Amino acid sequence: MIEVKHQYSLKDHNTFGISATAETYCRITTIQQLQEALSYFKNEAVFLLGGGSNMLLINNVERPVIHLDLKGKEIIPHNNDEVLLKVAAGENWHELVMFCVKNNLAGIENLAFIPGNTGTAPIQNIGAYGVELKDSFYSCEVVELATGNSYTFNLAQCKFGYRDSIFKNEALGKYAITAVTLKLKDLKANSSYVYKTDYGAIQSELEQLPGELSLNKVAQAVINIRTNKLPDPKIIGNSGSFFKNPIVSRTTYNKLKLEHPAMPHYDVDDQNVKIPAGWLIENSGFKGKRYGDAGVHDKQALVLVNHGTATGKEILAVAQIIQKEIKKRYNVTIETEVNLIEN
Protein backbone atom coordinates (compact mmCIF):
# COMPACT_ATOMS: atom_id res chain seq x y z
CA MET A 1 0.00 0.00 0.00
CA ILE A 2 1.22 3.50 -0.75
CA GLU A 3 0.16 6.68 1.02
CA VAL A 4 -0.09 9.79 -1.15
CA LYS A 5 0.15 13.17 0.60
CA HIS A 6 -0.62 16.62 -0.78
CA GLN A 7 1.04 20.03 -0.23
CA TYR A 8 3.89 18.27 1.55
CA SER A 9 6.78 20.46 2.79
CA LEU A 10 10.18 19.53 1.37
CA LYS A 11 12.10 21.81 3.76
CA ASP A 12 13.46 18.89 5.78
CA HIS A 13 14.18 16.90 2.61
CA ASN A 14 16.72 19.24 1.00
CA THR A 15 20.05 20.11 2.62
CA PHE A 16 19.79 23.69 1.32
CA GLY A 17 16.81 24.02 3.71
CA ILE A 18 14.65 25.70 1.06
CA SER A 19 10.94 26.04 1.94
CA ALA A 20 9.29 24.48 -1.09
CA THR A 21 6.35 22.11 -1.22
CA ALA A 22 5.50 19.05 -3.23
CA GLU A 23 2.01 19.14 -4.63
CA THR A 24 1.92 15.35 -4.33
CA TYR A 25 4.33 13.24 -2.26
CA CYS A 26 4.70 9.55 -1.67
CA ARG A 27 7.39 7.76 0.39
CA ILE A 28 8.24 4.24 -0.68
CA THR A 29 10.20 1.66 1.32
CA THR A 30 10.00 -1.40 -0.96
CA ILE A 31 10.40 -2.08 -4.68
CA GLN A 32 6.80 -3.23 -4.75
CA GLN A 33 5.65 0.14 -3.36
CA LEU A 34 7.79 1.88 -5.96
CA GLN A 35 6.09 -0.12 -8.72
CA GLU A 36 2.70 0.69 -7.20
CA ALA A 37 3.54 4.41 -7.06
CA LEU A 38 4.74 4.35 -10.67
CA SER A 39 1.51 2.83 -11.89
CA TYR A 40 -0.52 5.24 -9.72
CA PHE A 41 1.26 8.19 -11.36
CA LYS A 42 1.25 6.59 -14.80
CA ASN A 43 1.75 9.02 -17.68
CA GLU A 44 3.04 11.72 -15.33
CA ALA A 45 6.71 12.68 -15.15
CA VAL A 46 7.72 11.95 -11.53
CA PHE A 47 10.42 13.56 -9.40
CA LEU A 48 12.63 11.09 -7.52
CA LEU A 49 13.81 12.28 -4.12
CA GLY A 50 16.73 10.72 -2.29
CA GLY A 51 18.73 12.49 0.41
CA GLY A 52 18.10 15.90 -1.17
CA SER A 53 21.76 16.84 -0.81
CA ASN A 54 22.58 17.83 -4.38
CA MET A 55 19.65 19.89 -5.54
CA LEU A 56 18.33 23.42 -5.44
CA LEU A 57 14.54 23.73 -5.35
CA ILE A 58 13.81 26.84 -7.38
CA ASN A 59 10.03 26.53 -7.20
CA ASN A 60 7.43 24.26 -5.63
CA VAL A 61 7.50 20.82 -7.21
CA GLU A 62 4.47 20.22 -9.40
CA ARG A 63 5.47 16.71 -10.46
CA PRO A 64 4.55 13.87 -8.09
CA VAL A 65 7.51 13.36 -5.72
CA ILE A 66 8.48 9.75 -5.00
CA HIS A 67 10.78 9.59 -1.99
CA LEU A 68 13.03 6.53 -2.30
CA ASP A 69 13.52 5.33 1.27
CA LEU A 70 14.56 1.71 0.82
CA LYS A 71 16.81 0.35 3.59
CA GLY A 72 19.13 -2.63 4.04
CA LYS A 73 22.70 -3.90 3.58
CA GLU A 74 23.96 -7.32 2.58
CA ILE A 75 27.56 -8.59 2.48
CA ILE A 76 28.15 -11.10 -0.31
CA PRO A 77 31.46 -13.06 -0.38
CA HIS A 78 33.21 -12.44 -3.71
CA ASN A 79 36.75 -13.81 -3.73
CA ASN A 80 39.62 -14.38 -1.28
CA ASP A 81 40.20 -10.78 -0.36
CA GLU A 82 37.15 -8.91 -1.65
CA VAL A 83 33.49 -8.78 -0.76
CA LEU A 84 30.46 -7.30 -2.45
CA LEU A 85 28.28 -5.07 -0.33
CA LYS A 86 24.76 -4.54 -1.62
CA VAL A 87 23.20 -1.42 -0.15
CA ALA A 88 19.62 -0.18 -0.55
CA ALA A 89 19.24 3.29 -2.08
CA GLY A 90 17.85 5.00 1.02
CA GLU A 91 20.81 4.15 3.27
CA ASN A 92 22.70 7.26 4.39
CA TRP A 93 26.07 7.46 2.60
CA HIS A 94 28.22 8.55 5.56
CA GLU A 95 26.73 5.88 7.84
CA LEU A 96 27.61 3.35 5.14
CA VAL A 97 31.21 4.60 5.05
CA MET A 98 31.48 4.22 8.84
CA PHE A 99 29.91 0.74 8.65
CA CYS A 100 32.65 -0.25 6.17
CA VAL A 101 35.38 1.27 8.34
CA LYS A 102 34.08 -0.66 11.37
CA ASN A 103 33.92 -3.90 9.41
CA ASN A 104 37.40 -3.48 7.88
CA LEU A 105 36.06 -3.10 4.35
CA ALA A 106 38.31 -0.77 2.38
CA GLY A 107 37.64 1.47 -0.63
CA ILE A 108 35.28 4.29 0.33
CA GLU A 109 36.92 5.65 3.52
CA ASN A 110 38.07 8.82 1.67
CA LEU A 111 34.42 9.51 0.89
CA ALA A 112 33.46 9.96 4.55
CA PHE A 113 31.09 12.75 5.56
CA ILE A 114 29.57 13.34 2.12
CA PRO A 115 25.89 14.10 2.69
CA GLY A 116 23.18 12.23 0.81
CA ASN A 117 21.98 8.71 0.21
CA THR A 118 23.71 5.70 -1.30
CA GLY A 119 21.24 5.49 -4.19
CA THR A 120 22.13 8.94 -5.48
CA ALA A 121 25.90 8.47 -5.21
CA PRO A 122 26.25 6.91 -8.71
CA ILE A 123 24.31 9.69 -10.46
CA GLN A 124 27.12 12.20 -10.08
CA ASN A 125 29.87 9.66 -9.27
CA ILE A 126 30.59 11.32 -5.92
CA GLY A 127 34.25 12.02 -5.28
CA ALA A 128 36.62 13.56 -2.75
CA TYR A 129 40.27 13.42 -1.70
CA GLY A 130 41.54 11.44 -4.67
CA VAL A 131 38.77 8.79 -4.70
CA GLU A 132 35.55 8.47 -6.67
CA LEU A 133 32.59 6.15 -6.19
CA LYS A 134 33.46 4.42 -9.49
CA ASP A 135 36.69 3.06 -7.91
CA SER A 136 34.62 0.77 -5.64
CA PHE A 137 31.49 0.45 -7.73
CA TYR A 138 30.40 -3.02 -8.90
CA SER A 139 26.81 -2.57 -10.10
CA CYS A 140 23.50 -0.93 -9.32
CA GLU A 141 19.91 -2.06 -9.51
CA VAL A 142 17.35 0.15 -11.15
CA VAL A 143 13.64 0.21 -11.81
CA GLU A 144 12.59 1.58 -15.16
CA LEU A 145 10.03 4.33 -14.57
CA ALA A 146 8.02 3.67 -17.73
CA THR A 147 7.53 -0.05 -17.11
CA GLY A 148 8.37 -0.84 -13.46
CA ASN A 149 10.84 -3.48 -14.69
CA SER A 150 14.10 -4.10 -12.79
CA TYR A 151 17.53 -4.09 -14.42
CA THR A 152 21.17 -4.19 -13.31
CA PHE A 153 23.78 -1.73 -14.62
CA ASN A 154 27.43 -2.78 -14.32
CA LEU A 155 30.45 -0.49 -13.99
CA ALA A 156 31.00 -0.01 -17.74
CA GLN A 157 27.30 0.59 -18.43
CA CYS A 158 27.22 3.46 -15.93
CA LYS A 159 29.77 5.45 -18.04
CA PHE A 160 31.22 7.25 -15.03
CA GLY A 161 33.17 10.48 -15.49
CA TYR A 162 34.07 13.49 -13.34
CA ARG A 163 30.78 14.18 -11.46
CA ASP A 164 29.07 12.41 -14.32
CA SER A 165 27.35 9.14 -15.32
CA ILE A 166 24.82 7.71 -17.76
CA PHE A 167 22.13 8.81 -15.26
CA LYS A 168 22.89 12.47 -16.04
CA ASN A 169 22.89 11.81 -19.79
CA GLU A 170 21.08 9.24 -21.93
CA ALA A 171 19.45 7.53 -18.93
CA LEU A 172 18.38 10.84 -17.35
CA GLY A 173 14.87 10.62 -15.90
CA LYS A 174 14.38 7.02 -17.01
CA TYR A 175 15.29 4.95 -13.95
CA ALA A 176 15.12 4.92 -10.17
CA ILE A 177 18.27 3.49 -8.59
CA THR A 178 17.08 1.10 -5.88
CA ALA A 179 20.37 -0.46 -4.70
CA VAL A 180 24.12 -0.06 -5.18
CA THR A 181 26.63 -2.92 -4.94
CA LEU A 182 30.19 -2.01 -4.01
CA LYS A 183 33.31 -4.17 -4.38
CA LEU A 184 35.48 -3.65 -1.31
CA LYS A 185 38.79 -5.05 -0.04
CA ASP A 186 38.26 -7.21 3.02
CA LEU A 187 41.20 -6.20 5.22
CA LYS A 188 40.44 -9.07 7.59
CA ALA A 189 41.61 -11.37 4.78
CA ASN A 190 44.32 -9.26 3.14
CA SER A 191 46.61 -6.67 4.67
CA SER A 192 48.24 -5.38 1.46
CA TYR A 193 45.78 -2.56 0.85
CA VAL A 194 47.24 0.70 -0.43
CA TYR A 195 45.62 3.64 1.36
CA LYS A 196 44.95 6.65 -0.86
CA THR A 197 46.67 9.45 0.98
CA ASP A 198 48.31 11.38 -1.90
CA TYR A 199 45.88 14.26 -1.63
CA GLY A 200 47.84 16.99 0.15
CA ALA A 201 45.27 17.87 2.79
CA ILE A 202 44.96 14.22 3.86
CA GLN A 203 48.73 13.80 4.29
CA SER A 204 48.99 16.79 6.59
CA GLU A 205 45.85 15.89 8.56
CA LEU A 206 47.07 12.29 9.06
CA GLU A 207 50.30 13.60 10.54
CA GLN A 208 48.27 15.33 13.26
CA LEU A 209 46.40 12.16 14.23
CA PRO A 210 47.77 9.51 16.62
CA GLY A 211 48.14 5.78 15.85
CA GLU A 212 48.93 3.56 12.88
CA LEU A 213 47.46 4.19 9.43
CA SER A 214 44.02 2.53 9.36
CA LEU A 215 40.67 2.90 7.64
CA ASN A 216 39.40 4.67 10.71
CA LYS A 217 42.33 7.09 10.73
CA VAL A 218 41.85 7.99 7.04
CA ALA A 219 38.09 8.48 7.53
CA GLN A 220 38.78 10.62 10.60
CA ALA A 221 41.28 12.76 8.64
CA VAL A 222 38.65 13.34 5.93
CA ILE A 223 35.97 14.13 8.53
CA ASN A 224 38.30 16.69 10.14
CA ILE A 225 39.13 18.39 6.82
CA ARG A 226 35.51 18.48 5.73
CA THR A 227 34.20 19.79 9.06
CA ASN A 228 36.79 22.58 8.97
CA LYS A 229 36.04 23.69 5.41
CA LEU A 230 32.50 22.70 4.59
CA PRO A 231 29.40 23.99 6.38
CA ASP A 232 27.24 21.45 8.23
CA PRO A 233 23.87 21.45 6.42
CA LYS A 234 22.12 20.97 9.77
CA ILE A 235 23.44 24.41 10.76
CA ILE A 236 23.80 26.31 7.45
CA GLY A 237 21.85 25.06 4.43
CA ASN A 238 24.05 24.04 1.49
CA SER A 239 24.58 21.35 -1.15
CA GLY A 240 28.37 21.02 -1.06
CA SER A 241 30.21 22.23 -4.16
CA PHE A 242 27.70 24.29 -6.11
CA PHE A 243 29.85 24.35 -9.27
CA LYS A 244 32.02 21.81 -11.04
CA ASN A 245 35.69 22.58 -11.44
CA PRO A 246 36.01 23.73 -15.07
CA ILE A 247 38.17 21.72 -17.45
CA VAL A 248 39.95 23.97 -19.95
CA SER A 249 42.36 23.38 -22.84
CA ARG A 250 46.07 23.54 -22.08
CA THR A 251 46.33 26.63 -24.31
CA THR A 252 43.72 28.44 -22.25
CA TYR A 253 45.37 27.27 -19.04
CA ASN A 254 48.82 28.48 -20.13
CA LYS A 255 47.40 31.91 -20.91
CA LEU A 256 45.61 32.13 -17.56
CA LYS A 257 48.68 30.91 -15.69
CA LEU A 258 50.76 33.76 -17.15
CA GLU A 259 48.27 36.29 -15.84
CA HIS A 260 47.64 34.47 -12.54
CA PRO A 261 50.80 32.59 -11.52
CA ALA A 262 49.29 31.54 -8.15
CA MET A 263 46.35 29.72 -9.75
CA PRO A 264 46.28 26.03 -8.68
CA HIS A 265 45.48 23.32 -11.27
CA TYR A 266 45.17 19.57 -11.78
CA ASP A 267 46.31 17.90 -15.01
CA VAL A 268 43.47 15.90 -16.57
CA ASP A 269 45.35 14.61 -19.64
CA ASP A 270 47.77 15.97 -22.28
CA GLN A 271 45.24 18.42 -23.63
CA ASN A 272 43.13 19.36 -20.64
CA VAL A 273 43.60 21.00 -17.27
CA LYS A 274 41.13 21.31 -14.38
CA ILE A 275 41.03 24.61 -12.52
CA PRO A 276 39.51 24.86 -9.02
CA ALA A 277 36.35 26.95 -9.35
CA GLY A 278 36.74 27.74 -5.63
CA TRP A 279 39.97 29.60 -6.41
CA LEU A 280 38.39 31.55 -9.29
CA ILE A 281 35.44 32.51 -7.07
CA GLU A 282 37.59 33.49 -4.09
CA ASN A 283 39.88 35.56 -6.30
CA SER A 284 36.89 37.38 -7.73
CA GLY A 285 36.08 38.58 -4.22
CA PHE A 286 33.01 36.43 -3.49
CA LYS A 287 34.23 34.35 -0.55
CA GLY A 288 31.98 34.95 2.47
CA LYS A 289 29.83 37.43 0.54
CA ARG A 290 26.13 37.67 1.47
CA TYR A 291 23.11 38.84 -0.48
CA GLY A 292 20.41 38.71 2.21
CA ASP A 293 20.25 35.10 3.38
CA ALA A 294 21.86 33.73 0.20
CA GLY A 295 25.63 33.74 0.06
CA VAL A 296 29.03 32.18 -0.45
CA HIS A 297 30.60 30.14 2.35
CA ASP A 298 33.43 31.96 4.15
CA LYS A 299 35.81 28.95 4.24
CA GLN A 300 35.18 27.35 0.82
CA ALA A 301 34.06 29.62 -2.00
CA LEU A 302 32.74 26.72 -4.09
CA VAL A 303 29.87 26.27 -1.65
CA LEU A 304 26.78 28.47 -1.76
CA VAL A 305 24.85 28.74 1.49
CA ASN A 306 21.39 29.54 2.84
CA HIS A 307 21.87 31.54 6.04
CA GLY A 308 18.21 31.18 6.98
CA THR A 309 15.26 31.90 4.76
CA ALA A 310 16.77 32.29 1.29
CA THR A 311 14.60 31.04 -1.55
CA GLY A 312 15.87 28.82 -4.34
CA LYS A 313 15.54 31.77 -6.73
CA GLU A 314 17.76 33.93 -4.48
CA ILE A 315 20.48 31.26 -4.32
CA LEU A 316 20.25 30.85 -8.11
CA ALA A 317 20.62 34.62 -8.57
CA VAL A 318 23.88 34.56 -6.56
CA ALA A 319 25.11 31.63 -8.68
CA GLN A 320 24.40 33.59 -11.86
CA ILE A 321 26.21 36.71 -10.60
CA ILE A 322 29.26 34.51 -9.88
CA GLN A 323 29.12 32.73 -13.25
CA LYS A 324 28.94 36.06 -15.09
CA GLU A 325 31.85 37.57 -13.16
CA ILE A 326 34.08 34.49 -13.71
CA LYS A 327 33.30 34.60 -17.42
CA LYS A 328 34.15 38.31 -17.51
CA ARG A 329 37.38 38.06 -15.51
CA TYR A 330 38.81 34.75 -16.74
CA ASN A 331 36.74 33.94 -19.83
CA VAL A 332 35.97 30.58 -18.20
CA THR A 333 32.48 29.10 -17.97
CA ILE A 334 31.65 27.39 -14.68
CA GLU A 335 28.77 24.94 -14.71
CA THR A 336 26.55 24.06 -11.78
CA GLU A 337 27.21 20.74 -10.10
CA VAL A 338 24.00 20.88 -8.07
CA ASN A 339 20.79 19.90 -9.91
CA LEU A 340 18.52 22.88 -10.45
CA ILE A 341 14.90 21.83 -9.95
CA GLU A 342 12.64 24.23 -11.81
CA ASN A 343 9.26 22.57 -11.17
Q: Which residues are catalytic?
A: 163, 241, 337
C-beta closer to ligand EPU: residue 62 or 164: 164
Q: Return the H-helix or E-strand segment holding 259.
A: helix 250-259
Least distance to ligand EPU, CB of residue 264, Å: 4
- Subset of 37-76 contacting ligand EPU (CB under 6 A): none
Burial class (CB in 10 A: 0-12, 13-18, 19+), 169: exposed
Nearest to 326 by CA among 284, 288, 290: 284
Question: Where does this chain touch ligand EPU (CB under 6 A) — which range of 44-52, 95-103, 211-219, 299-307?
Answer: 299-307
14 binds ligand EPU (CB under 6 A): no
Q: From the list 240, 246, 295, 312, which residue makes contact with ligand EPU (rule: CB under 6 A)? A: 240
Region class of 101: left (phi > 0), else alpha (psi between -120 and 50), else beta: alpha
C-beta closer to ligand EPU: residue 118 or 241: 241
Least distance to ligand EPU, CB of residue 277, Å: 7
Q: From the list 16, 25, 47, 129, which residue makes contact with ligand EPU (rule: CB under 6 A)? A: 129
Q: Give how far Cα 251 sits from Cα of 73, 247, 270, 272, Å.
A: 48, 12, 11, 9
120 binds ligand EPU (CB under 6 A): no
Number of residues that bind ligand EPU (CB under 6 A): 16
φ/ψ of residue 45, rounded to 5: -75, 125
Q: From the list 72, 173, 264, 308, which residue makes contact with ligand EPU (rule: CB under 6 A)? A: 264
Least distance to ligand EPU, CB of residue 126, Å: 7
C-beta closer to ligand EPU: residue 70 or 128: 128
C-beta closer to ligand EPU: residue 212 or 259: 259
Q: Return the H-helix or E-strand segment holding 182.
A: strand 175-186
Give Cα 21 to chain centroid, integer Å: 22
- Subset of 160-199 contacting ligand EPU (CB under 6 A): none
E strand segments, 187-282: 237-241, 247-249, 266-267, 272-274
d(CA 164, CA 271): 20
302 binds ligand EPU (CB under 6 A): yes
Using an 8 Å Cβ cutoff, are 135 and 97 in contact?
Answer: no
Residues that bind ligand EPU (CB under 6 A): 128-129, 240-241, 244-245, 264, 276, 278-279, 282, 287, 300-302, 337
